[in-house]
Amino acid sequence: MQYTISDVAKRAGVSTATVSKVINDKMYVSSRTKEKVLKIMNELNYTPNVSASNLAKKVTKNILYADRFYKGIPFKNPHMFDIICGAEDELSRRGYHLTLLNLDKDTKKIEQILEDTMTSKSADGMILNGALVTPRIERIMLNFDFPQICIGKPNFDTILSWIDINNSLSANMAVEHLLNLGCRKLAFMGGQSGDEIFIDRLRGFQIALQKNDIIVQEEFITYNEPDIDVIYNSAMQLLQSPNRPDGIICTNSLMAVGTMRAIKSMKLTMPDDIALVAFDDYPYTPLISPKPTVIEIDVFSLGVHAVSHLMRKIKDPATIIQTYTALPRLIKRETS
Amino acid sequence: MQYTISDVAKRAGVSTATVSKVINDKMYVSSRTKEKVLKIMNELNYTPNVSASNLAKKVTKNILYADRFYKGIPFKNPHMFDIICGAEDELSRRGYHLTLLNLDKDTKKIEQILEDTMTSKSADGMILNGALVTPRIERIMLNFDFPQICIGKPNFDTILSWIDINNSLSANMAVEHLLNLGCRKLAFMGGQSGDEIFIDRLRGFQIALQKNDIIVQEEFITYNEPDIDVIYNSAMQLLQSPNRPDGIICTNSLMAVGTMRAIKSMKLTMPDDIALVAFDDYPYTPLISPKPTVIEIDVFSLGVHAVSHLMRKIKDPATIIQTYTALPRLIKRETS
DNA sequence: CTGAAAGCGCTTACAG
DNA sequence: CTGAAAGCGCTTACAG
């Protein structure tokens, strides 16, 4: 049997209005009646029904995390779920819930899903994968005047709010590290040209080199498919060139595996012959030796920050947030 | 501006009761008025306010997924999030939402979190990590009579509902496969004795061998820490013994990497000298060659099934579900 | 400081 | 088939 606010009111000999005030810790209730009410609430083990409270307050205390949650994606992209964990953490601290909104439905288009959920008023705001946002979706979001923040800058000019990793800055960090070690011929083991994260990191790489008056050698920048053999061969070519690099940055952990395999097969040693820095510990670092120096990015915190910004926006809907949150950390290990 | 049910009623010239009936597709409303109402709803782009509807219906259309969502867990245990994706998929198909309930709070104990959320009536049911369930938590759940299902059988006798992977059956599948290939001396590269998944798989291994009248050789069962060098050495010992196994089952993908490294360094070939089957493609299979034969387990479906059972339990709270859902699939590749 | 009353936006017997 | 009215369990001006 569940008690309601009127059960409490009755037993405490006060009105439901007064009980409501102590529940919500409003001022203007005498400490005597407050205590009395609290005592009854305790005895009855009473907790307010949040649905009723939310309806009356016209809030939901609920935030949506909108992305594509299809089968297997946690294996492909665990980062996304670490962001979600960060968002959940910060939301629950603020008395909010995080519910998942799957934009990957064969029956409905993304636009339709978003419109329906916004009109149904089932959440106070939304965290949205920026990569999924189109100008058309931007318009829908603005029409509804629904508090939102994108994870990842949309790939067009927008007045939506977003928060993103500063990949360029992270690459800069890797470059500075290698330059400090005395490296002067830096190579970049990159992904494919459609991979925005890689492209940002590459840009950071290039800018950092220019800033240090080092010429960017085009042949030292490689574009690789995510296949271990392709990467290996690509690295071999780099290492066999008469003008061999003395420092290599790998855009992810798979690149690091392939590249280090090549370095070892050339009987070169790290960091003496060649220093190496990789992005992302995950998922292959446990497998490789020597342990690679790595730039780690705290995506959990990205989720936390996204929520903080979204909350500001809920309070003041006019706010626009567009910000890079860097949070890279260099973990120096055995390859540099 | 958001329209309400009375706006619709007014413009359609009917009562809100009637509008409610067409929203909920109740019978006993003439097709003429139904059409009229639908037309207005469409014109106004009206969607019912779910909070209000839920309050009146005394439901929330919300299911909690309760587990520990701390920083970094998606990297350690992406399976958990694939289960979540499966649950979300099935829930949204049924008009429910999935919200995360983090049991990993330093300010509150698990018991307290569960009690508070259940009394607050913010969900109609709960999916709960069975590994976290204690007899004390069992009592709380039963007290509240709250529809629940555990993912993973709790490690004590319980009348809570649970659904689990049939690890034992999966191991059986691996054994049968190797026996069919003619192997007779099977080894098992296992994890640590506290790892329940491994223990279940080991049991399946042993039972399958006994069923086939093959003696289980104790020295062929190894217990290994999750460290690549430890695994390698353990496998080497197995391979160097005078009585070398002709088939090996690896309890996970890390075991497969270490074991295959040992096999290769012994200049043995797969599957001719030795056949190998591993559990889990993830995360290391992309790195290894030859491509390992693997028993894959569909955890996304586990989430889907958990939801189906939970829904039955919501309809009929007396239902108790305790079931193994196997869903293993053998993917034959180059090592067997 | 306290309470009566209206309201949040729906649904549900019930009467017609 | 349709609608008036009470109800879901809270909150919020407002009057006292």
Name the DSSP class of A72.
T
Nearest to A198 by CA among A253, A161, A237, A235: A253
Report A:155-214 residues touching B (Cβ under 8 A).
Answer: none
Residue A276 has pLDDT above 80, yes or no: yes
Residue A1 has pLDDT above 70, yes or no: no
Give contacts of A52 with chain B, Cβ < 8 Å: 55
CB contact under 8 A, A78 and B82: no
What's the pLDDT score for residue B1? 55
List the beta bridge partners of residue A101. Answer: A66
Closest nt to residue A30, judged CA to C1': C1
Class of domain A167-296: alpha beta
Q: pLDDT tens-digit profile of B179-217? A: 999 999 999 999 998 888 898 899 999 999 999 999 999
Q: Which residue has the higher pLDDT, A76 or A88?
A: A88
Residue B276 to residue B249: CA distance in whole angstroms: 6
pTM: 0.92
Give contacts of A283 with chain B, Cβ < 8 Å: 75, 283-284
Spatial CB neighbours of A274, under 8 Å, sequence gap ≥ 6: A239, A244, A245, A246, A247, A248, A263, A268
* Average pLDDT of the residues of chain B: 93
What's the pLDDT score for residue A45? 87
What's the pLDDT score for residue A28? 79
Residue B152 to residue B172: CA distance in whole angstroms: 19
Residue A8 has pLDDT above 60, yes or no: yes
What's the pLDDT score for residue A325? 86
Residue B304 has pLDDT above 90, yes or no: yes
Q: pLDDT tens-digit profile of A156-165? A: 999 999 999 9
Nearest to A234 by CA among A243, A226, A223, A246: A223
What's the pLDDT score for residue B287? 82
CATH fold label, A5-57? 434 Repressor (Amino-terminal Domain) (1.10.260)
Rg over CA atoms, chain B: 26
- Could you identify the residue written with the tokens 């342990």? A291
What does DSSP say about strands B293-297 and B328-331: parallel, antiparallel, or unpaired? Answer: antiparallel
What's the pLDDT score for residue A106? 85
List the beta bridge partners of residue A121. Answer: none
Mean pLDDT of B98-107: 93
High-pLDDT (> 90) share of chain A, %? 75
- A31 — pLDDT class (breaks 50, 70, 90): confident
Is B92 an 8 Å CB contact of chain A?
yes
B5-57 against B62-165+301-328: fold identical: no
Residue A204 has pLDDT above 70, yes or no: yes
Sign of the C-alpha dihedral computed for residues A169, A173, A174 and A179 taken in this order: positive
Give me the CA A314–C1' D14 separation in Å, rounded. 28
Size of interface A-B (CB pairs under 8 A): 142
Is B73 an 8 Å CB contact of chain A?
yes
Q: pLDDT tens-digit profile of A78-91? A: 999 999 999 999 99
What's the pLDDT score for residue A103? 96
Q: Which of A252-256, B74-78, B131-135, B326-330 has the lowest mean pLDDT?
A: B326-330
Q: Residue B253: closest CA among chain A residues belongs to which residue? A: A287
What's the pLDDT score for residue B270? 96
| Bases along strand C below 7 A from a protein CB | 1-5, 7-13
**Architecture of the domain spanning B62-165+301-328:** 3-Layer(aba) Sandwich (3.40)
Which residue, counting CA atoms, is nearest to the C1' of nucleotide C3? A15
3-class SS at A223?
A: strand
Residue B292 to residue B309: CA distance in whole angstroms: 34
What's the pLDDT score for residue B108? 87
Sign of the C-alpha dihedral computed for residues B230, B231, B234 and B237 taken in this order: negative
Is A122 an 8 Å CB contact of chain B?
yes
Q: pLDDT tens-digit profile of B209-265? A: 999 999 999 999 999 998 889 999 999 999 999 999 999 999 999 999 999 999 999
Residue B33 has pLDDT above 60, yes or no: yes
CB contact under 8 A, B287 and A287: yes
Closest nt to residue B29, judged CA to C1': D1
Give me the CA A20–C1' D11 separation in Å, rounded. 7
Spatial CB neighbours of B201, under 8 Å, sequence gap ≥ 6: B167, B168, B170, B171, B188, B190, B249, B251, B279
Domain ranges of chain B: 5-57, 62-165+301-328, 167-296
Report A:297-316 residues touching B (Cβ under 8 A).
Answer: 300
